[in-house]
Structures are given as C-alpha cells and as structure tokens.
C-alpha cells in the first residue's frame, strides 16, 4: 500500500513509488521485516529519498519470508548495519508463560508446561484422531465456556502443515461443522471443490490489489485484500454467487473471479499466521514426519498467542522441535554482497 501498487497493460503489478517518484518521508519504519522478501525490500529502498532514515524491526528467529531471500537474517549476519537486540523480559511480561517460554524455545530449552493459573498449557494426546477431537471440543465448548472466547474470532488453530488428520484441510472441515454447521438460514455457494457458507471464517491467501473495500466506521474506500487477512462471511448471494466478507472494519464483496484465493481459516498453517496475533492459539503437535517440525516454526506459532496458548500432542514432539534448529538453506547472496562492499 505504501508503494502504491498499480497494474501494467499486461496485468502485472508494479509500484507507483520508485526511484523516479519517491516517498515523501524523512524516516521510514518497516515492521515484521522477517516477512519481507528480496524483491519487496529492493522496491522499498529504491523509493526512499536521499537522506531518509530507515529503521527495520523484526525477529530473525521466526520463519523467513514466503518469497525469495532471507533479508533480515542476512542484514544482521553481515554486521554492516547497526543492530539492537531486545532480550530483557520486563517484570509484567515475566508473569506470562507465553513470553518466557518463547524465550526458552528460541534458546533451545524445553518450555515449562501446565503451571497453575497461567497462560501456557499442554494437553497430552497419543494419536492424531484423539488430538483432533480434543481440539474440536476446546474450540466449540471448553474455551468459550471457561474464558468467554468467541469460537470463531478469538480462537485460532495453528498447524505445522496442510495434510493429514491434523492438517488444515481436514481440521477446517471438522471445525466448520462444529462451529458453523449448515442450516436453512445460511446460504452456501460452491466454487470448484470449495464451498463457502454464511458465517464462515476465511483467509485471503494471495495478495489481490483489485478487490474494493469500504470501512464501515468512516465510509472510506480503498483497494486491496492481502495475503493473511482473515475475515468472516456475512452474506452469501446464491444467485449472483457473490459474498460479503468483513475483514475487521473493512467490508469487501467477492465474486467468482477472486474467490480462488480464499480458504477456510478455522485452522491455518503457522506460515500463514505470520503477522497476525490471536487471543487464544491451539497448536496440534504430533510428529508424523521429519518435515516442518522445526524450532523456528514452533517459536513462530507460540508468539502468535496474546492471552492463551494450548499445545495438544505429545512431549516427544515438543522436545524434538525445540532441539531441531535446522533451517531451510537459502542462497540469497545479500549477506556476501554487503560484506564485499
């Protein structure tokens, strides 16, 4: 949005703000830099006027960007730019096991589990089916009753992957039937293999700069719904196959041309949750393969929770993830170019 995206004649996105039409600012703060890929970072730098200061904020222990590059980690490793690391846990935060356990995980230590009257809990399960049923119970009954959480807007299930009993595909179907079951008062519309229902929780999984929205509180109009934006379907028109979706204070109307980038989001992957925070997070952790079960994925999932985190699975998987500090190797070249220059 800051760089003002537009489309070329062949329908390719480009930025209005660039080296020929620079941003009007004396200082720019970029947050969540771990999510910024090389192409976007290059575009930001090109649009900065001479003398502008840039402050980069991010957590290199989280998952890297989906796009190419490893910008934040490379900048830090190069030792070319000044870096300030925030490591002290202040008194108020020390009372939260979510905060202290996040620090333990990133330091390769096993988190403390089930300390009474706290915000970080572990519920043991011996197999994926048992874990799935427990997660459904937590979302539909136990947490709403005990904490007065909304099952749809306050609670988020975060999974390592998409496939299997504890993957997003299967969990979303089970959670929808528990939290938003079909009935005659709710319209549905099907696009390909995906069916959407009034009341469904959905996520935009790809940037779409053309979708128009209006802010309900101010009447302000704008364009663009972006990767990771979560919304609730408020209305489905079965005849026109259009859906009215609320993304916080923004209302957008979807039709068949843009719905392919929409997914159910009662459960989503840890990767897709980056940049979001949730009142309560439930993470199923039962390792069925060596893939995806990395320390930085565990750490990223834990830090999405604001007030409550529940791990569902087995201790062996928790220990495996904490000890597995292997990271996907990325040949970006940025660090070496900075060191050379």
Query: What long-range pairs does 143-149 form, CB within 8 A, spacing at least 24?
Result: 143/280, 143/308, 147/280, 147/308, 149/279, 149/280, 149/308
Q: Is residue 201 classed as helix, strand or coil in its secondary structure?
A: strand
Instruction: Establish how many alpha carbons lie within 13 A of residue 51's alpha carbon, considering only the half-sphere containing its beta carbon.
Output: 3
74-108, pLDDT tens digit by residue? Answer: 999 898 889 998 887 765 577 889 999 999 999 99
- 69 vs 89, residue with greater confidence: 69
- Report the alpha-carbon distance of residue 258 to residue 277 in Å, rounded: 25
Question: Which tokens is 136 given?
Answer: 């459904």
What local confidence, expressed as pLDDT, does residue 91 receive? 56
Model confidence band, residue 122 (pLDDT cutoffs 50, 70, 90): very high
Q: Are strands 53-56 and 27-30 parallel, antiparallel or unpaired?
A: parallel
CB 56 within 8 A of CB 84: no
Q: Is residue 140 classed as helix, strand or coil in its secondary structure?
A: helix
- Residues 250-274, mean pLDDT to the nearest whole number: 94
- Residues 21-36, mean pLDDT to the nearest whole number: 93
DSSP string for residues in 270-326 = HHHHTT--EEEEEEEE--SSSSS--HHHHHHHHTTEEEEEEEEE-HHHHHHHHH---
What local confidence, expressed as pLDDT, does residue 304 receive? 96
- Report the alpha-carbon distance of residue 25 to residue 54 in Å, rounded: 10
Question: Which tokens is 290 given?
Answer: 């060596």
123-174, pLDDT tens digit by residue? Answer: 999 899 999 999 999 999 999 999 999 999 999 999 999 999 999 999 999 9
CA separation, residue 5 to residues 98, 223, 270 (Å):
37, 10, 27
- Residues 306-326, mean pLDDT to the nearest whole number: 94
What local confidence, expressed as pLDDT, does residue 326 receive? 80
What local confidence, expressed as pLDDT, does residue 319 receive? 95
**Domains of the chain and any CATH numbers:** 5-88 (3.40.50.300), 91-323 (3.40.50.300)
205-222, pLDDT tens digit by residue? Answer: 998 888 999 998 898 998
Q: Is pLDDT of 44 > 60? A: yes
- Report the alpha-carbon distance of residue 87 to residue 89 in Å, rounded: 6
């Amino acid at each position: 949005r800051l760089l003002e995206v537009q489309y070329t004649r062949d329908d390719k996105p480009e930025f209005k703000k660039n080296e020929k039409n620079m941003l009007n600012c004396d200082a720019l703060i970029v947050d969540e830099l771990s999510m910024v890929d090389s192409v976007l970072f290059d575009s930001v730098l090109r649009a900065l006027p001479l003398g502008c200061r840039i402050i980069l904020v991010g957590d290199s222990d989280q998952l890297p960007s989906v796009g190419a590059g490893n910008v934040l980690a490379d900048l830090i490793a190069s030792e070319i730019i000044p870096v300030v690391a925030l490591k002290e846990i202040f008194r108020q935060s020390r009372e939260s096991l979510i905060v202290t356990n996040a620090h333990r995980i990133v330091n390769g230590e096993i988190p403390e589990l089930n300390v009474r009257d706290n915000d970080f809990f572990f519920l043991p399960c011996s197999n994926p089916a048992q874990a799935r049923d427990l997660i459904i119970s937590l979302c539909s009954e136990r947490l709403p009753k005990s904490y007065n959480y909304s099952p749809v807007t306050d609670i988020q299930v975060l999974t390592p992957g998409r496939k299997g009993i504890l993957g997003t595909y299967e969990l979303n179907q089970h959670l929808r039937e528990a939290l938003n079951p079909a009935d005659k008062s709710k319209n549905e519309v099907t696009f390909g293999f995906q069916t959407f229902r009034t009341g469904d929780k959905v996520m935009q999984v790809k940037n779409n700069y053309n979708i128009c929205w209006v802010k309900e509180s101010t009447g302000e109009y704008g364009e663009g719904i972006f990767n990771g934006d979560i919304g609730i379907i408020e209305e489905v028109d079965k005849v026109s196959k259009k859906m009215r979706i609320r993304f916080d204070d923004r209302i957008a109307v979807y039709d068949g041309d843009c719905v392919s980038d929409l997914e159910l989001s009662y459960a989503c992957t840890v990767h897709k949750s980056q940049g979001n925070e949730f009142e309560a997070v439930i993470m199923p952790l039962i390792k069925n393969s060596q893939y995806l079960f990395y320390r930085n994925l565990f750490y990223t999932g834990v830090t999405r929770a604001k007030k409550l985190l529940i791990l569902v699975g087995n201790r062996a998987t928790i220990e495996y993830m904490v000890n597995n500090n292997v990271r996907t190797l990325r040949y970006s070249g940025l660090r070496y170019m900075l060191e050379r220059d």
